[in-house]
Structure 1
Amino acid sequence: MSIEKVRASQTERQPERKQVKVKVAKKKWISTGEKYLYSIVSGAVLCACAYVISFSSATDSLNRDIETLEGNLEQQQSVNSSLSYDVEQLKNPERILDVAKKHGLDIQQSQVKQAGTVSSD
């Protein structure tokens, strides 16, 4: 017998072994549920950051407007105090008497009286 026949007879005697491919499930680093939770949390964090930045910007803008209004208020108060000083100067009795004399008013017993009255009839 030849070697080939011997080998062929030996292979016939041995039952054939079927090789079954087994899929080995690799463990994922992050599961699907965790990915979902991480996505939700990261989205919430991004929304919170956007809200904080928006709120900060609005607050800063409001503060700038308030400072501008306070500056305008101080300027107006300065103008008002200057005008109040002018009013006090215009109330000076000597000045009033000078203006009265220029317009033809007579002074009797230190009282200013009008020389002629204008009737509205």
Structure 2
Amino acid sequence: MSIERARSIQQPIEHQPKKQVQVKVQKKQWISTGEKALYSLATGVVILASVFMVQFTSSTDTLNRDIQKMEQQISQQESQNDNLAYEAKELSNPDRILQIAKENGLEMQNAEVKQAGLVGN
């Protein structure tokens, strides 16, 4: 090959403008769309579970308070019943009954005094 021919081949190559091709570079997403959906779903489930747990704890606490109030009322009523039973027993004492009878002018015919509950014996 001759030198001139080689130069003629090289010159058009050197003088040819370079074509610039624009290439779109797709950036890789850090989190894919499917992962976003899964994370959103998991977050929603966690939030719903938390709300349910708080609601359940609140209703349990309210129920426990109601139970404590009822137990306190039952205790007070039992105490009042015991006091009334003791007072009824005290008021039904035969000596007391005889004393009230004498104060009101009643006379005792028999020397034996029996309680009403023991009459059948």
Question: If the length of structure 2 is used for normalisation, what is the TM-score?
Answer: 0.72
Report 1 or 2 for greater relative contact order, CA contacts < 8 Å, sequence distance ≥ 6. Answer: 2
Indicate the structure with greater helix content.
2
**What percentage of aligned pairs have identical amino acids?**
49
Which residue identity does 1:99 align to in structure 2? I
Q: Which residue of 1 aligns with 2:42?
A: 41
Question: Which segments of 5 or more consecutive residues in structure 2 lack a partner in the other structure?
Answer: 1-10, 114-121
Secondary structure of the 1:106 match is coil
Matched, 1:32 2:38: no
Shift of 1:62: 1.4
Q: How does 1:81-96 map to 2 (within 5 A)?
A: 81-96=82-97
Residues 57-72 of structure 1: pairs in structure 2 closer than 5 A: 57-72=58-73
Deviation at 1:33, TM superposition (A): 1.2
Q: Aligned equivalents of 1:85 and 1:68: distance in 2?
A: 26
- Root-mean-square deviation over aligned CA pairs: 2.4
Structure with the bigger percentage of strand: 1
State TM-score, norm by structure 1: 0.72
Partner residue in 2 for 1:97: 98
SS in 2 for 1:68: helix
Q: Which amino acid aligns with 1:42?
A: T
Moved more, 37-46 or 103-112: 103-112
Partner of 1:119: none
AA aligned to 1:35 is K
Alignment deviations for residues 22-48 of structure 1 (CA, whole Å, 9 cap, x no partner)? 111111111111111111110110010
Aligned length: 103
1:53-103 CA-to-partner distances (Å, cap 9, x unmatched) read 111111112112212221222222112111111111011011111222233
Query: Which whole-Å CA distance do the structure 2 matches of 1:63 and 1:45 have between them?
Result: 27
Unaligned runs of 5+ in 1: 1-9, 113-121
